[in-house]
Amino acid sequence: MNGASPGWPVHAPGLTPWVWLWPQAASEQAGTVDAIFIALLVFCGALFLLVLGLLVVFSIRYRRGSKAKRGDLPEVLRRDIEIGWYAVITFLAIFMFGWAGATQLALDAPPPGALEIHVVAKQWMWKVEHPNGAREINELHIPRGEPVRLVMTSQDVIHSFFVPAFRRKQDVVPGRFTETWFTPTEEGEFHLLCAEFCGTAHSRMGGRVVVMAPEAYAAWVAAQPQGDTLAREGERLFAAYGCSGCHAPASAVHAPRLAGLYGRPVQLSDGRVARADDAYLRDSILQPRRDVVAGYQPIMPSFGGLIEEGELQRIIAYIRSLRPEEAR
Ligand code: CUA
């Protein structure tokens, strides 16, 4: 619909002004977020009306010249009301905190096997790469009913990936990977926004998420002109940057083997144990002396400033693709 332009505003079918106040709920996660929002709204609304009501009642009752009694309330009544009021408010606040916090934590862990899509944000566009190498800009095609996990990073400043209909928002930060995930439940087109002020064209850094039937998505993704997959390109970069010189099994250099490494715990030389996830691999490439693997010398040079974000993603995808049985 809007191709490579930072298409904003995007007009989804059936978009009405009401949508701006309450976007359609189109993910499995949206229900719980809405429930918390409504509970907070009701709680704050009730409090607002109570305070406003008392303000009006007391203004009239104790206006100048009225005959209302102005002495103190009995001591015990004053104390009981005060204690009860604070107890109720404290309980409600803790309840809201616990509810929202637990929901957020539960929503942070993607289910295993989620469809993994890579996103690079830059001023002022979203670049998307599918597992098979299909690419798009300012659009994200995904299948309905399947958990989708986004691994995101930024080339320049902090952006924020925001799809109101999914009730998901996640900062996208240069120099690290952040993740979000969701399970879309409705087919259609939904706004994709940047929710972090990131420069003059921040308001135009948007696009659309297209949720398709699973078969339609499979057909769409197969029909895209594909670059090589991330892992294949990563393999080339792995050789081009000289990584294979030390990390190949045949190498004479004593360097950690990478096959089957991804996701496993790694014993470090200072006694800590790290998990070999995306962030760990990324840090190990950019700051190799920070987390030295037990039994190895800190001889690897830093690749900070040499490797671009997109290349890092590819190299990590390659390392992740190495199965233990593949002796590389
Ligand atoms: Cu990117 Cu605002």
Query: Is residue 202 lining ligand 1, measured as CB closer than 6 Å?
Result: yes
pLDDT digits (tens, 9 = 90+) for 156-212: 899 999 998 899 899 999 888 899 999 999 889 999 999 999 988 898 888 899 999
The minimum-distance atom of ligand 1 relative to the CA of 158 is 1
What's the confidence (pLDDT) of residue 226?
65
Residue 293 main-chain phi, psi, to 5 deg: -70, 140
The atom number, within ligand 1, closest to the CA of 197 reads 2
Q: Is the CB of 193 under 6 A from ligand 1?
A: no
For ligand 1, say whether the CB of 309 is within 6 Å of any of its atoms.
no
Q: Which residues share a beta bridge with 141?
A: 210
Cβ atoms 147, 110 nearer than 8 A: yes
Q: Is any atom of ligand 1 closer than 6 Å to the C-beta of 316?
A: no
For the CA of 198, the nearest atom of ligand 1: 2
Task: Provide, for the chain, the percentages of residues in helix, strand and coil under a 3-state DSSP scheme, each rounded to the nearest 5.
Answer: 40, 20, 40
Whether the CB of 136 sits within 6 Å of ligand 1: no
Distance 150 CA to ligand 1 centre (A): 17
Cα–Cα distance for residue pair 288/301, rounded to 1 Å: 7
Phi-psi region of 167 (alpha: psi -120 to 50; beta: other; left: phi over 0): left
Average pLDDT, consecutive stretches of 10 residues, N- to C-terminus, the chain (328 residues): 38 53 82 89 93 95 86 80 90 92 86 89 89 85 92 91 91 89 91 91 89 90 74 82 79 80 86 86 86 84 80 84 61
184 within 8 A of 212, measured Cβ to Cβ: no
Which positions ≥6 away from 57 have C-beta within 8 Å? none
Ligand 1 mean position, distance from CA 170 (Å): 12
Q: Is the CB of 172 under 6 A from ligand 1?
A: no
140 touches 126 (CB < 8 A): yes
What number of other Cβ atoms are within 10 A of residue 69's Cβ?
A: 8
Beta bridge partners of 171: 160
* CB of 205 closer than 6 angstroms to any ligand 1 atom: yes
